[in-house]
Amino acid sequence: MGEHPSPGPAVAACAEAERIEELEPEADERPAAAAAPEDHWKVLFDQCDPGNTGYISTGKFRSLLESHSSKLDPHKREVLLALADSHADGQIGYQDFVNLMSNKRSNSFRQAILQGNRRLCSKALLEEKGLNLSQRLIRHVAYETLPREIDRKWYYDSYTCCPPPWFMITVTLLEVAFFLYNGVSLDQFVLQVTHPRYLQNSLVYHPQLRAQAWRYLTYIFMHAGVEHLGLNVALQLLVGVPLEMVHGATRIGLVYVAGVVAGSLAVSVADMTAPVVGSSGGVYALVSAHLANIVMNWSGMKCQFKLLRMAVALICMSMEFGRAVWLRFHPSAYPPCPHPSFVAHLGGVAVGITLGVVVLRNYEQRLQDQSLWWIFVAMYSIFVLFAVFWNIFAYSLLDLKLPPPP
């Protein structure tokens, strides 16, 4: 995809990722080289505030933006104007002025994004004409994942595909590679989990080997069969890649890995005698977070056929979950060890509707600025600690009869 080539009408080109370009002063307004950037904004502010009241009208601020319009992408100018209009008293203080003009990610700037007036000055991004294939794809992703027009335009102008959505693509390629390798080595592709040597792989989570901590994460590279792999790969590419394009690899990777770990720990607590395979914990965390975000912002989500898309996603998830439940209670091909557990799916859903919803709720606000984020992080940490102690003490106290090691 790369950067936008030639822009369409009122469309920005060449924008830096995840920031608004800082406005350049005109030549006759440029201060001395030694002056700090804020000193320049102070000079401009004083020019608009001859009475030294500490405030300027939003009208003067709009005029100042218009005078710099050639230096600023159209959609980003609309964002700043919308932020200026969010001041109900019609005035902007000095600090807000500096934050808006220099585009600092301060709390006041983010609060303006979250609480400000969402009515933008010109037509919606969806009405832009003359876009090439790359631009239409980026616009489509914006409408699929972001509920606010102000955020969609901001994202559209900022996205450069650098870096690309590497996390979900890398995880998917690794899962497919391990599946093909196991298919060749076991000479079985359709339902690999029925092969007597399948659980001997050092990546599978097995209750007898729960002390090997890496298994709580690496089980995602093992799948029960081709239908298991196919549904998981389809969901995480169709949902995970667009989400990563908008929110970045760090946020999406956090939700995915948290769902994976929660899935295996949930199995170790609720289905203690069963092994775990598959990436369903991480996939269900992403999909459930995305669906919850759509439901919570239903009126703002302008994605096409959103009801149909939700229905398809729920049907695919139900089919995959139903397959896992059936397989769990189907007579095992290698008794006394049962087939893999389905509880990891439920652990992923729990992560998605808690941590995942907070991550996807706001495009620009930092996670550490959200109180609900810390509440869910605390809940997740408590669950992980509980599961760790459960794995250490509960198995011996309950005197469970575990299946023999593979």
CB contact at 8 A, 356 and 292? yes
CATH of 52-114, one of 3.40.50.280, 1.10.238.10, 3.60.140.10, 3.40.630.10: 1.10.238.10
Burial of 173 (0-12, 13-18, 19+ CB in 10 A): exposed
The domain limits of the chain are 52-114, 166-398
Instruction: Note the pLDDT of residue 305.
Output: 75
Q: Give all strands (DSSP E) within 15-106, no chain letters.
A: 55-57, 91-93
Q: What is the pLDDT of residues 122-155, one digit of tens each?
A: 556 777 777 888 888 888 888 888 887 777 877 8
55-57 vs 91-93, strand pairing mode: antiparallel
CATH of 166-398, one of 1.20.1540.10, 1.10.1060.10, 3.30.60.50, 1.10.287.130: 1.20.1540.10
Dihedral over alpha carbons 355, 356, 360, 365 (to 10 degrees)? 20
Mean of the per-residue pLDDT values for the chain?
A: 79
Give catalytic status of residue 57 as yes or no.
no
Cα→Cα distances 150→3, 123, 126, 300, 319, Å:
20, 11, 12, 11, 37
- pTM assigned to the model: 0.76
Q: Is 276 helix (H, G, I), strand (E, B) or coil?
A: strand
Q: What is the pLDDT of residues 151-207, one digit of tens each?
A: 787 788 778 888 889 999 999 999 999 999 999 999 888 888 888 889 899 999 999
C-alpha 310: how far from chain center: 17
Q: Is the C-alpha dihedral spanning 316, 321, 326, 331 positive or negative? A: positive
Written as six digits, the tokens of 332 are: 């095992």
Among 268, 280, 288, 341, which one carries the catalytic annotation? 280
CB contact at 8 A, 348 and 288? yes
Q: Is 92 helix (H, G, I), strand (E, B) or coil?
A: strand
For residue 87, name the pLDDT band (cuts at 50, 70, 90). low
Instruction: Note the pLDDT of residue 76.
Output: 61
Instruction: Note the pLDDT of residue 38.
Output: 57
Give catalytic status of residue 247 as yes or no.
no
CB contact at 8 A, 263 and 347? yes
Q: Which residue's entry shows tokens 């000479």?
A: 187
Among 4, 223, 228, 345, which one carries the catalytic annotation? 345
Report d(CA 219, CA 203) in Å as an integer: 5
Average pLDDT over residues 319-331: 89
Q: Give all strands (DSSP E) within 40-176, no chain letters.
A: 55-57, 91-93
Q: DSSP characters for 195-258?
A: STTGGGSTTSB-GGGTTSTTHHHHGGG--SSHHHHHHHHHHIIIIIHHHHHHHHHHHHHHHHHH
